[in-house]
Structure 1
Amino acid sequence: MKKYTYTLKAVFLSILLGMTSTSQADSSLTVRHLVNEQNIVSLNVTAKFLILPVQDDAPESKVCIVKDNEQRGTLMNVRLARERVDSYVPFILSDYKGQQISVDIQGLPADAVCWKELKLADSFDMSNKETFRPVYHHTPAYGWMNDPNGMFYKDGVYHLFFQYNPYGSVWGNMHWGHSTSSDLIHWNFEGVSIVPDAWGAIFSGSCVVDHNNTAGFGKDAVIAFYTSAKSTPWGDVQSESMAYSLDNGKTFVKYAGNPIITSLEKDFRDPKVFWYAPGKHWVMILAVGQHMELYSSVNLKDWKKESEFGKMQGAHGGVWECPDLIELPVEGSRERKWVLICNINPGGPFGGSAAQYFVGSFDGKTFVNESPVQTKWMDWGKDNYATVTWNNAPDGRCIALGWMSNWQYANNVPTRQYRSANTIARDLTLYKAGGEFYLKSTPSREMKQARGEKVSVPSFKVTDSYKIESLLKDNNGAYEIEMEIQVADASKISLNLQNEKGEQVSMYYDLLRKQFVMDRSKSGKVDFSNDFPAVTAAPVHAGKTLRLRLFVDRSSIEAFGEDGKFVMTNLVFPSSPYNQMSFGTEGSGYTVSSFNVYKLR
């Protein structure tokens, strides 16, 4: 089970959930309503937080602190409650304890529900009130999350930063949130690490551990690179900035020379930085519209553009985002190849956002794709996006993580307290088939450490149909299924996860078309988006034995076939856990030679 740790050192510690409504606002608050939906809340700060009621589909209001007639900090966009309250978020006041301040709230009518629900508070109810919150996938403690950012490993700890809105569970107010783990399964929420500033909101980026003090901030300093995204009356502006940490990512100091790279391009974002040992310099890869740009530096501050990549390469159905460039071993050989990961939105194989990749060579300045006419996808579901890898991962591993959602419906999935989860961690390698190099994504070995109760089903043959009536006792919706299938002469192998309410996820191997297919159109709640009830398909090149691992959590299924040669990630929202599995066939049948279910902790 996911564990969260909260300390007073975090900038944002937690959220007040499920508060009892009152008929009037907190008596310690004085609210004055002005013309044109301008409002002033005056108070003497006696508590850590002003609790703001949020309505997900309300128009955005603007909120900031005013002290001595001056605005403090940046204006935050908050969808304050007008007709109803979906959740609450904390607006931090502790820096002003004992002082008289005002909170400027713009764009909210005087008759809004918000004015009856504003409260001061020092403590929070952190109990999970979400039916669909995953058990073993990372999620934000509250608020909105999208792209994983700045991932690095240091002193036995995996650090995960992420695009974060602490003021609501829809996209906006981009900060970097921060979580840590020692095993990639149990996560501690560390609060907000990097906040918006004069150069804009904090968009996606990366972190490096500067072992040799090349930047001059200190040996082993953690240095973050991110996109500063500013909206102006003349349009949006994106540039690249940096910050450094001397306490392993707990706090960051922004570089005084920001922004460090600027451009005339509109879409200019998501810096991924790494050390290129042969050239003894740093490399930055940036997403620029529908191509990538590569830069080099010896000190992490001054950057030189070296090359571009992307013209007439891969899919171009949308904007390229969240790049990564990694060197991977080829299984069964001493060979190594470079892989450029390119996330795209829209333009995925089944609509919306997805992650593609290219395999080739890199000389420290220029990347060359060895298969320019072929588009390769990292994941064949709808819900793996913004995939990037950890810097400084142990044992030479390359560990990746994705955002488990799709921009077609990410703001509308049926949760309130939080939105979005990450995929499980995946170890990346390459394999060769038919003269081509392909990416293999294997569940990270830490996932086996999460296994608890095990149920083994004896070998069985499917000649028509077969059903397992109960996968687990006390099924909480979080488990792994590991199976091996002897194909024999079957042409179609059907595998259906079901619950007692008739909701199901239909999966099958179509061996004639060489595909693995997943259909979630009857998986549970699907009516929040026309794009959600989808059918996804992955190419399969398998022999007479099929191996499949299914990672099921309360709101997701991740299928890993043939030891990670194909991966499919899809969200699901069943009204109760899938605890049954039925099998069907076309052809002369097949044998399930092993079938194990593990409850995941």
Structure 2
Amino acid sequence: MVGFPSSDPDGPLYHKGWYHIFYQYNPDSAVWGNITWGHAVSRDLIHWLLLPLALVPDRWYDVNGVWTGSATRHPDGNIYMLYTGSTGNLTQVQNLAHPADPSDPLLLNWVKNPANPVLLPPPGIGPKDFRDPTTAWLGPDGLWRVAIGSRMEKLGITLVYKTRDFLSYELLDHYLHSVPGTGMWECVDFFPVAVNGTKGLDTSAAGEGIKHVLKASLDDTKLDHFAVGTYDPVEDLWTPDDPKNDVGIGLKYDYGRYYASKTFYDQEKQRRILWGWINETDTEFDDLKKGWASLQTIPRTVVLDGRTGADLLQWPVEEIESLRLRSYCFEDVLVGPGSVVPLHIGSATQLDIMAEFEVELISGKKTDEENSCDGGAAERSSLGPFGILALADASLSELTSVFFRPVQTSADAVTTYFCTDQTRSSLAPDVFKVVYGSSIPVVGDEKLQMRVLVDHSIVESFGQGGRRVISSRVYPTKAIYGDARLFLFNNATDVNVKVKLKIWEMNSAFIRPYPLDQL
């Protein structure tokens, strides 16, 4: 939900470390009033130490829940935490909190401002349609801007407020942006990206060579959509570069199970990092049995795709590579039409897989095939599908397919799809099993490439350097622990596929309580 570098330059343990605030839910009650904020610290964004609760619903303005918020670090060193509270009559209001001791490297204690709530729903906005403030950015007039998601009937909108001190606010008389038919926008995010280059930008960056990304989580569909566009900091207006790919009707961060994401800027490594939430797709009974529910994806860096100019490239943070153990290399593995090839690496429950595919296209032939991802991995066509079978058992009774499907639409044109098929991922009956995917741009002479992170019940797949991402929740019953295997497959009818792979076994990250008695 919220992440930022540790604020204390002389902190004894987490100097240049990370601080993360997240939802924590009381499973003994089904009311939103049990939403609180937990928090944790980390040196590397991978291993986390849990701290006591940060904020709990104990005031009239948040008695029904401490909801999504964002942190803004002021140049003077102060941290301003704006968050949505749900009142006793379920009105959504915005509240301000700050660390009780900004010099505490763990930021253990937080104080709610006595002026709360600092923002109420404005006229014309429903009391339940006003939530999730963004990180603030500094405008050319020296005032901070904060965006908040809302709606007017089915019109999804982004409200913008100006503030100098995070206590008093002025609502702009126009929206930052709106899109008809998209419904309530929540967990809005707004940040700059460099047109050229591989580094992230501070949230307040503006000027030449910079585009801005506007993202909204659509409450109606539970999908995270973004668009790249141009921001006018004087008029406080954002315009999409491509209206056909506007927020809510075009590109998604993730084409699988993914929602309520948030980015923040890492000034130490000059990168923008994306967090995303993935909920369960099995039953509540299963959640109670295992004692936990929902998780976050591996943190991802985000940059503008320099080759398309319209897409974002998402990639696992480099720190994930510290979990790599033994590696396996496979060169030029030939996978014939209709075949499956086992990759003998032993247990395959925790893996980092890099795969590159070469196919022989049919010169001068139009296949007349309209297949996309919808038919899944079993529906064959001339050029695909082909890819990997993760979390599979030896008999292939359970498997999760991650694949490409090229479709040769003319003698010189090929449309490629990047997909994940969960329909055979589990023999358990009460599990949501679908096919996810999207078309994926393949530019120039690029080879088809995927990176797949496998971790027991989650498969995160990155196509073409992160131009498309698909996260899947799967619950195998046989392909678990030492019985999980990895395969290549090719269901094309007319082409061979040559595959190059590097695979790492992955260690486990630790998540455990911070030893507060050692402070």
TM-score, normalisation: structure 1: 0.67
Structure 2 residue 313 is matched with structure 1 residue 440 = yes
Q: 1:295: Cα distance to partner?
A: 1.1
> Following the alignment from structure 2 to structure 1, what is the Cα–Cα distance between the partners of residues 417 and 209?
29
Note the alpha carbon deviations across 1:10-45, whole angstroms, 9 max, x for none: xxxxxxxxxxxxxxxxxxxxxxxxxxxxxxxxxxxx
| 1:368 matched residue in structure 2 | 239
Kindly tell me: are residues 373 and 459 of structure 1, through their superposed partners in 2, closer, same or farther at Cα, counting changes over 3 Å? closer
| 2:60 matched residue in structure 1 | 198
Match of 1:528 among 430, 433, 453: 430
Residues 460 and 593, structure 1, Cα contact 8 Å, conserved in 2? yes
Note the alpha carbon deviations across 1:357-405, whole angstroms, 9 max, x for none: 1211223333222222323333343311111012454232100110012
Residues 208 and 223, structure 1, Cα contact 8 Å, conserved in 2? yes
Kindly tell me: are residues 483 and 221 of structure 1, through their superposed partners in 2, closer, same or farther at Cα, counting changes over 3 Å? same
> Following the alignment from structure 1 to structure 2, what is the Cα–Cα distance between the partners of residues 410 and 254?
37
Q: 1:413: Cα distance to partner?
A: 5.9
Letter of the 1:308 counterpart? Y
Residues 330 and 500, structure 2, Cα contact 8 Å, conserved in 1? no
- Higher alpha-carbon deviation: 367-376 or 222-231: 367-376
Residues 67 and 85, structure 2, Cα contact 8 Å, conserved in 1? yes
| 2:365 matched residue in structure 1 | none
Normalized per residue, which structure has more strand?
A: 1
SS of the residue corresponding to residue 320 of structure 2 reads helix
SS of the residue corresponding to residue 376 of structure 1 reads coil
Note the alpha carbon deviations across 1:213-256, whole angstroms, 9 max, x for none: xxxxxxx2322110011242xxx201000111023532101100
Match of 1:244 among 78, 81, 98: 98
Kindly tell me: are residues 181 and 237 of structure 1, through their superposed partners in 2, closer, same or farther at Cα, counting changes over 3 Å? same
| 2:175 matched residue in structure 1 | 308
Structure 2 residue 216 is matched with structure 1 residue 342 = yes
The residue correspondences of 1:124-139 to structure 2 (distance < 5 A) are: none
TM-score, normalisation: structure 2: 0.77
Residues 287 and 323, structure 1, Cα contact 8 Å, conserved in 2? yes
> Following the alignment from structure 1 to structure 2, what is the Cα–Cα distance between the partners of residues 323 and 380?
16
Structure 2 residue 345 is matched with structure 1 residue 472 = yes
Kindly tell me: are residues 331 and 443 of structure 1, through their superposed partners in 2, closer, same or farther at Cα, counting changes over 3 Å? farther
Letter of the 1:482 counterpart? M
| 1:45 matched residue in structure 2 | none
The residue correspondences of 1:168-207 to structure 2 (distance < 5 A) are: 168=28, 172=32, 173-196=34-57, 197-200=59-62, 201-207=65-71
Match of 1:494 among 369, 386, 401: 386
- Once superposed, what is the RMSD of the aligned Cα atoms? 2.6
SS of the residue corresponding to residue 271 of structure 1 reads coil
> Following the alignment from structure 1 to structure 2, what is the Cα–Cα distance between the partners of residues 551 and 592?
18
> Following the alignment from structure 1 to structure 2, what is the Cα–Cα distance between the partners of residues 241 and 411?
32
Structure 2 residue 460 is matched with structure 1 residue 558 = yes
| 1:581 matched residue in structure 2 | 487
Kindly tell me: are residues 598 and 210 of structure 1, through their superposed partners in 2, closer, same or farther at Cα, counting changes over 3 Å? same
Residues 384 and 491, structure 2, Cα contact 8 Å, conserved in 1? yes
Q: 1:309: Cα distance to partner?
A: 3.7
> Following the alignment from structure 1 to structure 2, what is the Cα–Cα distance between the partners of residues 211 and 488?
56
Note the alpha carbon deviations across 1:258-305, whole angstroms, 9 max, x for none: 000101522100011223264433221101133110111121111111
The residue correspondences of 1:224-239 to structure 2 (distance < 5 A) are: 224-232=81-89, 236-239=90-93
Letter of the 2:301 counterpart? D
| 1:427 matched residue in structure 2 | 301
Note the alpha carbon deviations across 1:139-170, whole angstroms, 9 max, x for none: xxxxxxxxx23555534121111121145496
> Following the alignment from structure 2 to structure 1, what is the Cα–Cα distance between the partners of residues 254 and 137?
31
Q: 1:421: Cα distance to partner?
A: 0.6
Structure 2 residue 325 is matched with structure 1 residue 452 = yes
Residues 170 and 411, structure 1, Cα contact 8 Å, conserved in 2? no
Letter of the 2:169 counterpart? W
Kindly tell me: are residues 357 and 594 of structure 1, through their superposed partners in 2, closer, same or farther at Cα, counting changes over 3 Å? same
> Following the alignment from structure 2 to structure 1, what is the Cα–Cα distance between the partners of residues 87 and 427?
37
Kindly tell me: are residues 192 and 459 of structure 1, through their superposed partners in 2, closer, same or farther at Cα, counting changes over 3 Å? same
| 1:400 matched residue in structure 2 | 274
Structure 2 residue 147 is matched with structure 1 residue 285 = yes
Identity in percent: 21
Larger radius of gyration: 1
Note the alpha carbon deviations across 1:439-486, whole angstroms, 9 max, x for none: 1111111122221111222321112355454553344x2211111112
Structure 2 residue 229 is matched with structure 1 residue 329 = no
Match of 1:548 among 420, 438, 450: 450
Residues 485 and 591, structure 1, Cα contact 8 Å, conserved in 2? yes
